[in-house]
Amino acid sequence: EDEDFLGSITRTFAPDVDDIRLTLRHLTGLGLGASRRIVLAMRDAGLPLEEARSLVARAARAAWRQDRQIADVLVDDGLAGPLSQAQIDAAVTAHLDASRAVSDGLAAELAAIPGFQRPVDLSTMTDEEIAGFDAVFVPGGHGPMVDLADNPDVTRVLQILHRKGATVASLCHGPAALLAAGGRDDGEWLFEGYRLTCFTDEEEDQTVAGKLGVAWYLDTALKNAGAVFDDAPSAWVSHVVVDRNLVTGQNPGSSEAVADAVLKSLAVL
């Protein structure tokens, strides 16, 4: 049940993992995320599991390369095995419905947290109040590149918490906030020589914003600041780097692993 099923399918696309480029469009818009459900539906209809995996892998590869719905590929290319169009569509719909249920559930949990509804203005907090926290986490999205990379309130938070050895964590574009960290007593950047990761320039070039043209690239900026950059072997895969009290994740797909690393750093796990 814990098998990286989708990964086992997508790794058949190319012998070199660097040649594989998967985006959310492939997983949701083209239905590749429903691969497991389709395979299990084929198995339940009497097809041996390995044969079912082979058919779905071939269909997923064609959908990926030709920008076609996997349901259409299965039917039109004769790869549906014992399944009808309606059964395949039902598997894809079930996957999307389950995904929406998870998303809606998480949104409801976050909406119920008072602090998210009434955020505190950092400029109103004293140094003592900031020092009372065990960690700081900066989420992703392009926003941090706009107003956190040179934010004096962020500088104060990072200086205070880093000084006490608190966990400093960020994900995706969130490490842009680290550029505001200021310097150490020796004049170097606060995170000079730290291993870290972030949303890479390669990944940025594949986003809508990147194709339009971003003002600056985050991974280049962090390298220039003095970071020892550590990215994954390929774009879009989960990758987390922990160096002393600093926890960074490369992209949205790294979110769960970053959360796990943060909880471990706080001795919660």
DSSP string covering 73-136: HHHHTT--TT--HHHHHHHHHHHHHHHHHHHHHHHHHHHT-HHHHS---GGGS-HHHHHT-SEE
167 DSSP β-pair partners: 135
Number of domains composing the chain? 2
Q: In terms of residue numbers, what domain contains 82?
A: 5-111
Note the pLDDT of residue 251.
Answer: 95
The per-residue pLDDT for 9 is 84
What pLDDT score does 14 carry? 67
pLDDT value, residue 29: 86
Element (H, E) at 38: helix 35-44
pTM for this prediction: 0.68
> 83, 111, 139 — which closes off a domain?
111
Per-residue model confidence (pLDDT) at position 13: 79
The DSSP bridge partners found for residue 183 are 189
Q: Are residues 10 and 52 in the same domain?
A: yes
List the chain residues with pLDDT less than 50: none
124 and 106 co-located in one domain: no
Same domain for 125 and 246, yes or no, is yes
In this prediction, residue 21 carries a pLDDT of 73
Q: Is 14 exposed, middle or buried (0-12, 13-18, 19+ CB in 10 A)?
A: middle
Looking at the structure, do residues 155 and 98 belong to the same domain, yes or no?
no
pLDDT at residue 119, as a whole number: 86
The pLDDT score that the predictor gives to residue 234 is 86
pLDDT at residue 207, rounded to an integer: 87
Give CA–CA dist 6/33, Å, rounded: 7
Q: What is the pLDDT of residue 193?
A: 95
Do both 107 and 212 map to the same domain?
no
CATH classification of the domain holding 254: 3.40.50.880
Residue 18's pLDDT is what?
A: 62
Tell me which of 111, 142, 161 is where a domain ends: 111
Same domain flag for 239 and 177: yes
Q: Domain end: 51, 78, 111, which one?
A: 111
